[in-house]
Structure 1
Amino acid sequence: MSDIPSRTAETAAGGAVDGDLARARDGDDIAFTRLVEPLRRELHAHCYRMLGSTHDADDALQDALLRAWRGLARFEGRSSLRSWLYTVATRTCLDVIEARGRRALPMDLGPSSDRVVVGDVPLTDVAWLGPYPDAGIADGPAGPDARYEQREAVELAFVAALQHLPGNQRAALLLFEVLGFAAAEIATMMETSTASVNSALQRARSIVAEKIPSPTQQRTLREIGDARLREIVAEYSTALERGDADALVALLTEDVTWSMPPLPHWYRGLEAVTDFAVRVPLTTCGSWRHLPTAANGQAAVACYRWNDDAGAHLGWSINVFGLRGRRIREITSFIGLDHFAAFGLPASLP
C-alpha cells in the first residue's frame, strides 16, 4: 500500500509530460520550455564537455533547443525525450567541432619555458579551452551505468583530454562513460553501428587514460577536506596580495605548472614557476584582490587587478587549481573579464 502515492505521483507526472508534449507539438512554446527546463543544466554541461568552452556551450545549447523545437513533430516517442534531446545536442556539437576544430591549453602548443617571458602576447588565432562554473555541475553519476561522476567529467584534465579526440570518439565516450547510454542507443543517436561505437570507445579510452592524472581532483578534494581547501585558496590569495613569494612557494609542489591562456608560454617546475611569479604577478602587476569561487569541480579563485583608469580592481582571470595532497600542482589562469559573468562574479572590486 505504501507504493500507491508514489506511483500515483509518477503517473500524474507522466501525464503532465505527455500533455506538454502534445501542446508543444501544436506550437505551444511555453509547454516546450516546461519540457526541456529540467534537462537544461545537464545538456549545457554536455555541450561544454564536447566543446571545451562555456560560450560555445551557450550557443550550441540554444541552437540545439531551436532544432528540437522545430523538429519536435519528428519525435515519435520510441526513445525518451531526454535521449532525443541528447541526440540533438550531440549532433549540434559535432557540427561545431567539424567547423571549428578542438580547443587547446598552452601545453598543447609547445614545451614549457625555463625562465619568465616578459611581455607575453595573447594568441588570438587559437581556440582556447575555457573554465566552467561549478553552479552548472550536478553531483554524483548521471545514471547507474555511468563510470564517471559528473564533477570528474568536467575536471580540466578530462575536458582537455577530450579535445584530443575526434568528434565521434568524444561523443561516444561522453554518452557511454559519463551519461550511461548503452552502445546500441549511442549507435542510433549517432546514426552508425554498434560495432563502430565500440571501436570508437576503445580508441577514446586509450587516449584519455594516457592524459588524465590519478587520482582525480574529486578524490583529492574529499581526502583533504573543505577546511584545508579554504585555507589553500585563502593562503594563495593572501600571498599574491602581499607580494609574498615565500608564502606562495610553500603552497606549491616541486613539479608545479602554471599556464595562462590566451598567453602561449607556460612554466613547469618550482624554479621556473617561482621566477615567473616573482617577476610578474608578485611585483609588476600592481595591486590584487581575490574572491574564492569554484570551477570544473576544482578549487578556484577569481583574480582582480588594479586599473588606474578605472580606479578599481578589474576582473583579470579565473585561476583554477589542480591539487596533489595538500599542495597546488597546477595553476591554470584563464585570463579575460569575459569569463566572469558565467560565474556570477562582479566585473570589478574596490
Structure 2
Amino acid sequence: MTTRTRAAGVLTALTMSVLMAACSTSDGGGDALGESSSGADRSTGQDLARSDGAGGGTSRELAAAEDASSSESSGSSGPARPSGSGSQVATTPELERAVISTGTVSLSSKDVAGARQDVQRIVDAQGGDVTEESTETDEDGEASYARLVVRVPSGRFSEAMAALEEVDGVVASTRGSEDVTTQVIDNDVRVRAQEASLKRVERLLAEATSLRNLIWIESQLTTRQAELDSLKSQQSWLTDQTSLSTITIDISADRAKPVKKDEADEPAGFVAGLSGGMDALTSVLGAAATVIGALLPFAVLGLVVGVPVWVVVRRRRATTPAAAETPAA
C-alpha cells in the first residue's frame, strides 16, 4: 500500500506541474499581444519627442504623457482568449474589392440630337446622371457634335456599356478598370490611426499646465489635423470613384458622301448620242456667249469713238476734191 500511495502522489505532482506550465505559456502570449497592440501608440509619443530637437524636455514630457495615456487606454482591453478546447478559430471575412471603372463610346449619326436623346434614356434607365455636356452646331443651327460625361453606379457599369454599344452608329468603344482595394484599406487605416492620435493630443492639450507645453501641443494639434483632413479628402475621392463609374460619350454628325454613278447605268445608242450632242451644243453656245459678252464692251467703245471719227474723215475727203477743182483767178 505504501508503494502505491507514493506512485499516486508522484503522478499527481507531475500533472499539476504540466497544467501550471500551460497556464503560464498562455499568459505570456497574451502579454506579448498586449505589448504589440500598444507599440503603435508608443511610437506616436516617440514621434513627438523626435519632431523638434529644440523642444528638449518639453517634447519628452509630452511623449511620456501620451505614452502613459495610450497605455492606460490599451491596458483595459486585452486580446480575447479561446475558452475551452472546443473553441473554433474565427474565419477572416471576405475582402470587398474596390475597382475604378471607366469607359468611352464614340457614335456617328445623321441626327445628333436624336442620338443624344437615346443616350439620355439609357443613362436614366441605369440610374446615372450627366455631369458634363458640350454641343456644337452647324451653320443651319443643327447639332453637329455632342460630348457627354456620365456617371453610373459601379454595379451597373457593364449593363450601361452594353446598352450604349447597341445604339445605332457606334464607331468604337473601350473599357478600363483599376483595382484600388489596397489603397482604400491603407487610407482607411491611416485615417483611424490619425483620428486616435488627434484625440490623444487633444487630451494632452486639456491637461497642459505650462505655457511652453501649451504652445508645443497646439502646433502638433494643427499639424495632425491638417494631415487628417488630407487623408479624409483622399478617402472621399476614392469612395466617389469606386461607387460611380465614368463613361465618356462622343456623338458626331455623319456627313453623307455623294454617290458616284456607275458607268454601266449610263444610257447607250441614240439616246447617248443625243445627250452628248446636247451637251456639246450647250458647251459651244456657252463658250460663244462668253466670247460675245467679253467683246461687247469693246464694240460699244468702238461705236462711240469710231462713228464720229468716221464722219469727220468722210467730210474731209468730200471737201478735198471740191477744193482741187476750183480754177485759179
Between 1 and 2, higher relative CO (CA 8 Å, sep ≥ 6) is seen in 2
Q: Which has the larger radius of gyration?
A: 2
Q: Which structure has the highest helix share of the two?
A: 2
Q: What interval of TM-score do these two structures reach, taking the shorter chain for normalisation?
A: under 0.3
In the superposition, the TM-score normalised over structure 1's length comes to 0.18
In the superposition, the TM-score normalised over structure 2's length comes to 0.19
